[in-house]
Amino acid sequence: MEFKPAKCPNCGGELQVPPEKKIVKCMYCGSDIVVQKAIDEMAEENMASQMDLANTAIKSGNFKEAIEFCNKVLERDSRHIQALIIKGLAVGFLDKPKESLNYFIKVIKLGGDPQLVEEAQNMIASDYNNKGKKLLLRGRNSYKRLEQEAPSTFEEDPDRLRIKYRKDAEETAGNDFLNANDYFKYALVFISDDNKLPILKNRCEVLKEMKNFKYIKWKGFDPEEELEEVLNMIHKEEPDYEIGEGTVRKKAFSGEWMPCFIATAAYNNPFASEVNILRRYRDCYLKKKKLGRWLIGKYYKYSSPLANWISKTERRRLAMRLIIVSFIKFINKYLVTKDENEFKIDS
């Protein structure tokens, strides 16, 4: 015969009762008790105790333990609002943002207090923002450390650096920057709209660092496009905001990421798709050829005054844009193979 824990409503004695019966006598006070009511009362008391333990666990940073206590409550009542919120917090602190969001969405659908959900989500956003800032700082410091270990190699011999130091310098700092960017992205998902600006600025900082790392591009990530998007979001709240120029990596290897002066002046935007195409053409095609490297050197020596002249009027910028588009079509037709789409203009 199966027995379940129950509590006598008269004397408070803890009992084991058969759930199939309707009424039994209390072994302590002898009073008749309704079985299901006694079972429910014991279950409610147990759930309250479990929730107290879950609250204590999450405040102590024992997130897995908090999840276990919440699971016990949710097995009894899958719609328990407090258990869903605490479990959402715990899995969020364990870096499972998508799962965490699902619990908060369920709370809202069940009619839970939106204010409680917002407070919980802001706590997770703050945690992710702090983790992102730590990774951003760690990435900067690790790159500086590697730079100090081999200063002559970093500044004087980029080809040797690619062979000997690229793995440590790029991967160590680059992975920290990628992870920091992910934390900032998820923090923006959780944070309330009124508090987004500081996190956007932090994300701007990490994207600024990432754009000088070729390793980041090898990982299939384009920081320039996201940097432009984040800057646009910041400018809606703070129109005068300007991103600083300083980065931990003072220059890219072998001239990587040097500005395209004329194209930037023509489009008034260093991240325009046509500017990116010309930059890739320079890095992936011209720099591989002796004549190409000579042309690059001459370009950077003489192009700055011309770029300044072009930027003075819209008519000059328009004329140069037409020339640039024609040039891109030319290199696609005559200078790259048919199966290459590296230099196609974005549609």
Residues with Cβ < 8 Å from 341, sequence gap 6 or more? none
- Calculate helix-pair angle for 81-93, 97-109, nearest 10 degrees: 160
The pLDDT tens digits of the residues spanning 54-100 come to 999 999 999 999 999 999 889 888 999 999 999 999 999 999 999 99
4-7 and 14-17: which strand pairing? Answer: antiparallel
Q: Is the pLDDT of residue 270 over 90?
A: no
Instruction: Encode pLDDT of 286-343 as tens digits.
Output: 877 888 888 877 876 777 778 878 888 889 989 999 999 898 888 877 665 544 445 5
CB atoms within 10 A of CB 135: 22
What counts of helices (H) and strands (E) characterise the chain? 16, 4
The band of 114, judged by pLDDT with boundaries at 50, 70 and 90, is very high
Segments making up each domain of the chain, as ranges: 4-94, 113-254, 258-347
Asked if 265 and 317 touch (Cβ cutoff 8 Å), the reply is yes
Q: How many whole angstroms separate alpha carbon 304 and alpha carbon 35?
A: 88
Task: Say yes or no to pLDDT of 200 above 60.
Answer: yes
3-state secondary structure of 307: helix
Judge if pTM exceeds 0.75: no
Could you tell me the fold of the domain covering 4-94? 1.25.40
Q: Does residue 85 contact residue 58 with C-beta atoms inside 8 Å?
A: no
Long-range contacts of 293-297 (CB under 8 A, 24+ apart): 296/255
